[in-house]
Each structure stands twice: as C-alpha cells, then as structure tokens.
Amino acid sequence: MPIHLFWGEDEAARNRAVEALVQEQLDPTWASLNLSRLDGNDGGQAAQALEEARTPPFGTGSRVVLLQRSPFCSQCPAELAEGFEAALAQVAEGCHLVLVSPGKPDARLRTTKALQKLVKAGQAREQSFALPAIWDGAGQVDLVIRTARELGLSLEPAAAEALADAIGSDSARLASELEKLSLYVGSGAKIGLAAVQALVGGQATSSLAAGDALLAGRPADAIALLDALLAANEPALRIVAALSSQIRGWLWVSLLERAGEQDVAVIAKAAGIGNPKRIYVMRKQIRGRQSAVFLRLLGQLLEVEAALKRGTPAGDAFRDGFLLAG
C-alpha cells in the first residue's frame, strides 16, 4: 500500500512500526537516496513530503517518505490540504508515504475523509497506537503482551500482570524493561514472575494507586508511591495531570449522583470518562464521601502544581502539598 497513517500516543510502538516498515521496504544499498525523514511541524517539509512521494525509487527496493507530526489529518492550512488531496492519487509506484501523528485524525476534515476512502478501498493503511487508560488494568496487561510479542519475547501470564502493575501505560519504559528481562533470562527463554520481581520490582505503583491512597486518607502511603514514581523518572507534572483527572472524575460522579442522575452513560460523558463501566467502580470508591473531600484534594493538587512550576523539587512539592496540608 502506498500510503500509511500511523497515529496514537504510544510513541514507542509507533516508532517500532515505522522502523519495521522502513526495514521491510528499503534496499540498504539505496537507503540514502530512497529514505526521507521530514517534520510536519514545518509547512515547507510537509509540502516537500508530498512532492517526494511523487518520485519513483532509485535503484532497487522501494522509496519511503516519512513525515513525523503530520498535519494533514489535524489542523492544516487550506493550500497544504489541497495539495494533499491532489497528491493522494499521484503517489509514485514503489513509493510509500508514511504519515505519523500522536493525535487521532479529525474525522470532520476533508483530508481525513479523502484518506479514509483510500483505506476502505484498500489503497491506504491506517494503524492506531492508543495507550490504555491509567485505570484500565486489563488494557495494560494487553499492552504488555502485545509489546512482548512485537519484540519477539514470550511471557508467563503472571509476569505480564506484574509488569503491568509496575509500569502501567509507560510504553517506552515497558519496552526497555522487556529488553533487560530478555537478557536476564537468556535468549529464547520465557520471562517469568521471578525475573520481573528480581529486575523490575514487585511493588505495584502508579498515579492511580497514589490517588486511591489519598482518597482513603493515607497521605503517607500516597507519598511513598509518588516517591517511587519519581524515582522511576515519571515526570512530576504528568503525575499531577493523572491525579487531577482521577479526582475530577470522582467529583463529577459524586455531584451527578447527588443531583439524582443514574444513567452511567450520561455520567461518563459529563466526567470525560471513555468507558461507562468505569462508573460502577468509581461509585464503590467514593461511597459515603462528600464532595468536599474531592474539592480539598484538588486544592492540594493545585498547590503541588504551583510549587512545581516555581521550581520546588518534586518530592518536596508532593510532601508539602499532601502531608503538611493534610
């Protein structure tokens, strides 16, 4: 297929798919002439990608035009969009135009609709690389299993669950840990639970678990979990964003239930939660708690964020925000 659309926030998996396609299509002898790596944040390079896609490959093998941060299925200037629609039917034989974007294509755009027609006709390929939500345990286990399969590794079920607990949706770290585990157990050997516990650690830690500890009134436990996340190089502001989303979800569910709303689909939409089934779990978590609890936690989280942006060390910001204020 001459056109490939790879999108989704799982950057590590996207990059693996891109490099696999490059290796599959290029003749190494002609790679310097037949591979273009361009950046769609630059309008000139985006237009250049369309021009190069019309150029047949040199020598043997195919030609690959790779456009990272493609603008064509998101915000795209009208002139560039017109050029894209015209280029769709003009991709040279033996050339692969690879469009990569972290965001989901905007289905309302003409450019997206034009590309989707080609996908349906089998003339283009679309592949998504979405990460599971922070609360989606089953999705995180699936991510572990899928990543291991892509890397050619075999996992015991208990090992997959332990890795999901320890790493969550951090795809880049997951790939790194799997490669370390492969070296640890030896080539071709199945990765077991003991190896994960020895090399990665058996303690499950995530922003979600820290939020649960805060909700249960155990700030010291939450700080210990947050310290573990920071030690694993999790960005502090990403932790703040995850906690904020979690606590706002609880607040919305609490307020809507107090207002008499029982439809989980309505509650999920208002709270910005993709899977309405999650509402049943959240109801159990917040049972018996007043909305003031969630407002207090959000206030503390705001103080943490302000401290981080003022340059306070992350560990101190979380301790001051949740322990001293608590």
pLDDT tens-digit readout, 33-67: 999 999 999 999 999 999 999 999 999 999 999 99
CA separation (Å) from 63 to 22, 30, 42, 66, 305?
A: 9, 9, 21, 10, 47
**C-beta separation of 135 from 175 below 8 A:** no
Sheet holding 124-128, edge to edge: 35-39, 63-68, 95-101, 3-7, 124-128
Model's pTM, two decimal places? 0.62
Quick one: fold of 137-199? Helicase, Ruva Protein; domain 3 (1.10.8)
Q: How far apart are CA 67 and CA 73, in angstroms?
A: 12
pLDDT higher than 80, residue 325: no
CATH 1.20.272.10 segments of the chain: 207-324
Q: How far apart are CA 306 and CA 142, in angstroms?
A: 36
What are the structure tokens assigned to 78, written together?
């009208």
pLDDT higher than 70, residue 134: no
Q: Give mean pLDDT, residues 201-223.
A: 78
CA separation (Å) from 308 to 9, 84, 214, 234?
A: 25, 42, 19, 14
Distance of CA 203 to the CA centre of its chain: 22
Give me Rg for the CA atoms of the chain: 23
Q: How far apart are CA 35 and CA 65, in angstroms?
A: 6
What is residue 232's three-state secondary structure?
coil
**C-beta separation of 173 from 167 below 8 A:** yes
What are the structure tokens assigned to 38, written together?
């361009």
CATH 3.40.50.300 segments of the chain: 3-128
Q: How many CA atoms lie within 13 A of 140 on its CB side?
A: 20
Average pLDDT of the chain?
A: 88
CATH of 207-324, one of 1.10.3370.10, 1.20.272.10, 2.40.50.140, 3.40.50.1000: 1.20.272.10
Q: How confident is the model at residue 279 (pLDDT cuts 50, 70, 90)?
A: confident
Q: Give mean pLDDT, residues 275-296.
A: 83
CATH 1.10.8.60 segments of the chain: 137-199
Q: Domain 3-128 - what CATH class?
A: alpha beta
Q: Give mean pLDDT, residues 237-241.
A: 87
Q: How far apart are CA 277 and CA 257, in angstroms?
A: 15
Distance of CA 92 to the CA centre of its chain: 33
Q: What is the pLDDT of residue 283?
A: 84
Q: What is the pLDDT of residue 203?
A: 43
Q: What is the pLDDT of residue 64?
A: 96
Q: What is the pLDDT of residue 190?
A: 92
pLDDT higher than 60, residue 202: no
User: Among 48-62, 165-179, 195-209, which is the least confidently predicted range?
Assistant: 195-209
Strand blocks (E) in the chain? 3-7, 35-39, 63-68, 95-101, 124-128
Q: Each residue of 255-265: pLDDT tens digit?
A: 888 888 888 88
